[in-house]
A and B are shown apart, each in its own frame.
Chain A
Amino acid sequence: MTTAAATTERGRPAGSRGSLLPPWFGRFAAVALGIVAILLPLFFDPLSGFIDDCVIALAYVVMALGLNVVVGFAGLLDLGYVAFFAIGAFTVGWFASSFYADANIHILVSGQAEKLPGIHINFLLILIIAAALCAVAGILIGLPTLRLRGDYIAIVTLAFGEIIHVFAVNGDAIKVFGNGYPLTNGRQGISPVDQIKLPFITQFNQLNLRPWYWLILGIVFFVLFIVIRLRDSRLGRAWVAIREDEVAAASMGVPLVKTKLFAYASGAAIGGMSGAFLAAYLNTVNADQFAFSFSIFVLAMVILGGMGSVWGVVLGAVLLSFINNRLIPDVLNGVPGKLHLDFQLSDLGFGIFGFLLVFVMIMRPEGLLPERRHQLELHEDVEVEDVLWEEEHR
């Protein structure tokens, strides 16, 4: 009764997005989208390039969702997110390959991996290890930034990302645990790594991409669930409070240190899972993958989709991943050549992403599917009541 009264009293602005759709629409659309996503590979050849692109896109969705926790929810601009891709991937390189051939450890693996020398651990355990390692790394990277604000955080995280990149490139010279155990394999990369083997499913291989697709889709659903629950939890509200005004949040009793470190840790853990999956899927852990441009690539997904908006980030990641993997190299690559220009569109890769960052930031800073509260911050013409109304009726 009270809500109904409030509705008539405040009225609903005619242009409001929520007013056009019934309240159950959002949930229905999400379920429908999920079902379509599950059935999608059945309509394509198991080896088709499209499924390949989809697998990569979904892995990037996981990455972007993780970065969104740090950048979007908590407002801590992390320019070194590639660090967690690296750590997640190296978890696979260290613990699920024949890289450390002197060791002979096998945990819950069967088939080919059981016979090979080296450390071989089941992929589900690898995912957990990767998430845990990344969470710790995220906290370690977060600690020095606690006293800092704004762009200083960006620079410190960037520095950490670069330090990890340097260690990945030169790690073949670091032998902490003895001669047979270098930290990384440098630019040569650790390849091959174990193919994923899950209970009740046949061994994953490169001839059938469908299991890969369903696995990463499962991870996406899992991460989506976690991220949405986090967003709506007490912790999620604390993140938003810190993002909007750190001083006010602290004086209202939000524990800054704990809240920020939680954001770093959970964002990092999610990135680590995606990194581990990508390493297994691409079948290599190569130091050159972990460059600064990857951090910006993921950041561009978050920005394009809308910082803080879960569904926006999913959309942004899928869009950018397809632009990067299909549209630029395959579809539009010849266009400059047809215009008698002396370059290929794929040479413009990161220039396009840079342009996208500038363009989105200036023309539509709230992203494609904005989070309402963020929109309020970025546009003065959005009514406060409008947002409050939506918050009440979510």
Chain B
Amino acid sequence: MATESPAQPPPAPLAAPKPRGSAAREFFSRWGLWCLLIALPVVYAVKDLAGGHGLARLAQNVVEGVSNGSIWALIAVGYTLVYGIIELINFANGEVFMIGSFTSAALIGTLGLTLTTGPLGLVAGLLVILVLAMAASGSLNVMIEKVGYRPLRNAPKLAPLITAVGFSFILQNVGLLWLGGSPASVPDLIHAQQDVFTIFGVTVQRADILAVGVTVPLVVGAVLFISRSRLGKAMRATAQDPDAARLMGINVDTTISLTFLLGGMLAGAAGLIYALYETTIWYFQGFQAGLIAFTAAVMGGIGNLKGAVLGGLIIGIIQQISDNRIGPQWTPAIVFAFLVLIMVFRPQGLLGEETREAG
């Protein structure tokens, strides 16, 4: 056949295997990341079951992961909001979170909350601190935007990213001067380690309740604000097309500031939760948390609010499993390995919102 008509174009034999390959590729790009994420828990579940233990340990990991991850989720929402609107990785977001923690710790001292404070006073005091920490972090974030990013709005993309890194360093140094180079302890006001209830061998502690209890209303509030309010509509419009939004009479600068305010406030809230949850704070926490939360935001699909929350929870679980099973010293490497793998195989993230940069 082939010798008879060499000039004939060879469509049939080459085209045949093609659909199979592309189907596999499609499958991988759609589900590959999910498979990757499920791999770690599944491996340990099989190991536990084979070893004759129940799944209680894994479930415990997951519960702690969710509560830990809700802190990352709050920070990740800040990354995702800012990225969605000006396509900039606000590198300083992690440090804004750190400043939130430091402010909370200082305010705990100022308000005189101690281990002996009654429950009513404690709740009221912590609410005041929450509001103040959110305000401090939010306005800090707005200031960073005004000084560092706004003058560079039309500059090449690398320029604002470099100022973001610069601000991150400046804030780390502020933290270093504030509380010194070693971790400082925060009074364990809520008795974070105290068990609340146990179900199927899984213990839920006060810290878990606090983390989830503060995160859920805040995230729901943020989502409602963005989807329902007038200003939220302006934010979405600006994210879609800043020029068109400006032509429609939206004050783009104010809207961007508002986005930074919102992101900073959530980071500040995360700061307070972190301080109560871990009961130690230090200047370097923001850098680590920032990278973890950024990974979470990318995992969920940057620019996608629900994705950021989902990513935060997943990263929290991965982290707990790795802390508990592999060793905490390896956790950062594992989280970053996930980040690289996501970037390689599915840069648009789990919930797949195509962005101009990562497409």
Chain A interface (Cβ within 8 Å of chain B)?
71, 75, 77, 79, 144-145, 147-152, 154-156, 158-160, 162-163, 166-167, 169-170, 292-293, 296, 299, 303, 307, 343, 347-358, 361-362, 365, 377-378
Distance in angstroms from B23 CB to nearest chain A CB is 21
Smallest CB-CB separation from B89: which chain A residue? A151
Residue contact B347 to A166, C-beta cutoff 8 Å: no
Which partner residue on chain B sits nearest A186 by CB separation? Answer: B329
Query: Are A348 and B169 neighbours in the complex by a CB distance under 8 Å?
Result: no
- Asked if A160 contacts B165 (CB within 8 A), the reply is no
Bound-complex Cα distance A159 to B89 (A): 14
A361 touches B333 (CB 8 A): no
How far is the CB of A108 from the nearest CB of chain B, in Å?
Answer: 36
Contact of A166 among B172, B333, B343, B344 (CB under 8 A): B333
A159-B339, A377-B156 known; A354+B89 contact, CB < 8 A:
no
Interface string of B315-359 (1 = CB under 8 A from A): 000000000000001101100110110011001000000000110
Knowing that A162-B291, A350-B169, A362-B148 touch, tell me 13 more A-B residue pairs with CB under 8 angstroms.
Answer: A144-B344, A147-B344, A155-B298, A156-B343, A169-B329, A296-B169, A299-B162, A357-B165, A358-B148, A361-B162, A361-B166, A362-B152, A365-B159
When distances are taken between beta carbons in the complex, the residues of chain B under 8 Å from A343 are 177
B162 and A357: CB pair below 8 A?
Answer: yes
CA distance A377 to B159 in the complex (A): 12
Contact with A along B161-175 (1 / 0, CB 8 A): 111011111111110
> Do B347 and A159 have beta carbons less than 8 Å apart?
no
Cβ-defined contact, B165 with A296, below 8 A: yes
Specify the main secondary structure of chain B where it touches its partner. helix
Interface status of B88 (Cβ within 8 A of chain A):
yes
Q: Which residue of A lies closest to B156 (CB)?
A: A377
Counting from the closest, the 4 A-B pairs by CB-CB distance are A354-B169, A351-B173, A357-B166, A159-B336
CB pair A350–B172 under 8 Å, yes or no, is: yes
For the complex, what is the distance from the CA of A365 to the CA of B157, rounded to whole Å? 12
Interface membership of B102, Cβ < 8 A? no
Partner of B287, one of A145, A167, A292, A361: A292
Q: Select which of B147, B159, B167, B344 is within 8 A of A354 by beta carbon.
A: B167
Q: Are B158 and A77 in contact (CB under 8 A)?
A: yes
Contacts of A357 in B (CB 8 A): 162-163, 165-166, 169
A378/B333 in contact, CB under 8 A: no
Q: Does chain A have a CB within 8 A of B151?
A: yes
9 of the cross-chain contacts (CB-CB < 8 Å) are: A77-B158, A156-B339, A163-B336, A303-B162, A349-B173, A350-B173, A351-B173, A357-B163, A378-B159
**Chain B residues with a Cβ under 8 A of chain A:** 88-89, 147-148, 151-152, 155-163, 165-174, 176-177, 287, 291, 294, 298, 329-330, 332-333, 336-337, 339-340, 343-344, 347, 357-358
> How far apart are the CA atoms of A149 and B336 in the complex, in Å?
18
Q: Which residues does chain A contribute within 8 Å of B336, judged by CB atoms? A: 159-160, 162-163, 166
Specify the chain A residue showing the minimal Cβ separation from B332.
A166
Q: Are A355 and B166 in contact (CB under 8 A)?
A: yes
A355 to B347, CA, bound (A): 32
Contacts of A351 in B (CB 8 A): 169-170, 172-174, 176
CA gap between A150 and B358 in the complex, in Å: 9
Whether A170 contacts B177 in the complex (CB less than 8 A), given A162-B336, A358-B170, A361-B166, comes out as: no
Given known contacts A144-B340, A156-B340, A151 and B157 CB-to-CB distance under 8 angstroms: yes
The answer to whether B148 and A150 touch across the interface, beta carbons within 8 angstroms, is: no
Contact, CB under 8 Å: B158 / A75: yes
Q: In the complex, how many angstroms separate the beta carbon of B186 from the nearest chain A beta carbon?
A: 23
Contact for A170 among B148, B165, B329, CB less than 8 A: B329
In whole Å, how far is B144's beta carbon from the nearest beta carbon of chain A? 9
Closest to B168 in A: A354
In the complex, the chain B residue whose C-beta lies closest to that of A154 is: B161
Given known contacts A361-B162, A365-B155, A148 and B343 CB-to-CB distance under 8 angstroms: yes
Contact indicator A358/B166 (Cβ below 8 Å): yes
Question: Is B343's CB under 8 angstroms from A358's CB?
Answer: no
- Is B333 within 8 A of A167, CB to CB? yes
What residue in chain B is nearest A149 (Cβ atoms)? B357
Q: How far is the CA of A77 from the CA of B165 in the complex (A)?
A: 12
B159, B163, B165, B337: the one within 8 Å of A79 (CB): B165
Answer whether A148 and B358 are a contact pair too, CB < 8 Å, given A162-B332, A357-B163.
Answer: yes
